[in-house]
Amino acid sequence: MSLMKTVLLIVGVLFLIDGIWAIIFGKLPAGLFNFLFGLGEYKFPENQTRLFGLLLASPLLITYILSLILTSLLGAKGTGYAIVFGIMYILIITAASTIIVRNAKDSKPKKKR
Query: For 37-90, how does the pLDDT look when each residue is reduced to its tens digit (9 = 90+)?
Result: 777 777 778 888 899 889 989 988 898 899 899 889 988 888 888 888 888 998
Q: Can you give the pLDDT at residue 92?
A: 92
Q: Can you give the pLDDT at residue 111?
A: 56
Is 109 a member of any domain? no
Domain, as residue range, for 18: 3-104
Is 112 a member of any domain? no
> Percentage of the chain with pLDDT > 70?
91
Is 111 a member of any domain? no
**Closest CA relative to residue 35, chosen from 56, 16, 21, 14:** 14
Q: Can you give the pLDDT at residue 20?
A: 92
Amino acid letter, residue 33? F
Q: Can you give the pLDDT at residue 32?
A: 78
Is 52 a member of any domain? yes
In this model, does residue 108 exceed pLDDT 60?
no
> Percentage of the chain with pLDDT > 90?
9
| Number of structural domains in the chain | 1
Is 75 a member of any domain? yes
In this model, does residue 1 exceed pLDDT 70?
no
Is 51 a member of any domain? yes
- 53, 18 in Cβ contact below 8 A? yes
In this model, does residue 23 exceed pLDDT 80?
yes
Q: What are phi and psi of 92, to 5 degrees?
A: -65, -45
**Closest CA relative to residue 28, chosen from 54, 1, 59, 64:** 54
**Closest CA relative to residue 33, chosen from 88, 91, 100:** 100
Is 113 a member of any domain? no
- Give the span between the Cα atoms of 29 and 22, in whole angstroms: 7
Is 55 a member of any domain? yes
